[in-house]
Amino acid sequence: MIRPAVKISFGTLAAVRTCQRGDCPVSGRPVIVIAMTSSAIETSETNNKARRIGVTAVAAALLAGVAFSGTAAAAPSRPDLQATAQAIVDSGLAGVQLRVHDERGDWVGSAGVRKVGSTAKPPTNGRFRIGSNTKTLVATVVLQLVGEGKVGLDAPVADYLPEYNIDRRITVRMLLQHTSGLFDYVGAQLPDGTIVPGIPLAGQEFVDNRFHTYRPEELARFSLSKPAVFEPGTDWGYTNINYLLAGLVIEKVAGRPWADELQRRILRPLGMRDTFAPGTSPEIPGPHAHGYYRYQDAGQYKVVDITRQNPSWATSAGELISTTKDLHTFFSALHRGKLLPAPLLAEMRKPHPKGSYGLGLWVQDGGPDCGVVYKGMGGFHGYGTITASTPDGSRTFELSLTYGDKVSDTELAVAYDKADKTLVNKVICGRQS
């Protein structure tokens, strides 16, 4: 079964390198650091007002007295799914929100706690940082522009961003499929084994600077100032710089911030009112569970409530906030052909042989009794997100994980991978065990 081992954690680059050499917690495949990595960081925010789409609307709603409910409408009783959610929490997480759609209808529930030290469960309509699931939405916008003839999928990125002096062999397709070979601003391992650090996203240095604002232009120039990890199109390597540049391509072609274009093309038409790019705002407005970051400093473990943090480093590679309901709305529309013409959806779903990644979408072979599974996977300090769907959208799940204050990075990676496998087997493939 083809499935990437995804490490949603924030350890050191040395830890990432070790896992790349074959001792990943679950499957032994190369670690994919999603939206937030060991030495990860992505920047956003050219213009804070322009990039904080949705935040103004949320604030206006609050001022107008619109209340955000802490619970969703009553869902049909599914003790098996509730037990599954609890088992995921028991693997070492603070809390989960789970939404399932299958032949028995729609179910939503939560388990664990909203905040460490409390007994309240996470809200089933809670907002959370979706990490690299952002990439799928951004890829969809780029492919819409391709369909309209405004962007060439195999055109040089340099045609749209000439000011960055990007290697003309690098195409838009390479950005979306992670085959550009560009050095990632979150850090990278060079072919000779040398670890080159990126911006600080781990340990005490990150904690002390978690409200720092990064600009996408500075992150792009930082990445492009480093030597390439491999020649364009010759290999596969998951990086955030690819989608930062994809966001800049959207901005150049559309003439507006990528988040505004996303709002115009996808969020508003689909009624995704709880999905927005926070820009430099550290807040998660509305109902939400708290996420925690556990790290070592001077040989001692420390824990910080990391719910409030400036996500500008993640920009179009991972800064979005959403809900399980909105993610279900998006992925259902995508897989049912409502957002892209059939030929471009087929391009998106065509995986790279090494990375099992299409154009903004993970592609998993579920085996002869299950078939192909399409997935979105993401992480951020304190948060993890997994989405999965059958090709026709008849079976789906959306899972939000909040990390607690007890387990290590390695244990979190194992818990994330176990939750992924459990839900794919149970919900998507219909297996009993």
Looking at the annotation, which residues are catalytic?
132
Q: How far apart are the first and last CA of the chain?
A: 16
Rounded Cα distance between 62 and 2, Å, is 45
DSSP 357: B
**Residue 42 C-alpha from the chain's centroid:** 12
Task: Name the nearest CA neighbour of 348 among 361, 329, 335, 338.
Answer: 361
DSSP 19: I
Cβ neighbours around 300 below 10 Å, total: 7
> 3-state SS of 203-215?
HHHHHHCCCCCCC
Those residues with Cβ within 8 angstroms of residue 82's Cβ, 6 or more apart along the chain or in another chain: 109, 111
Rounded Cα distance between 184 and 205, Å, is 19
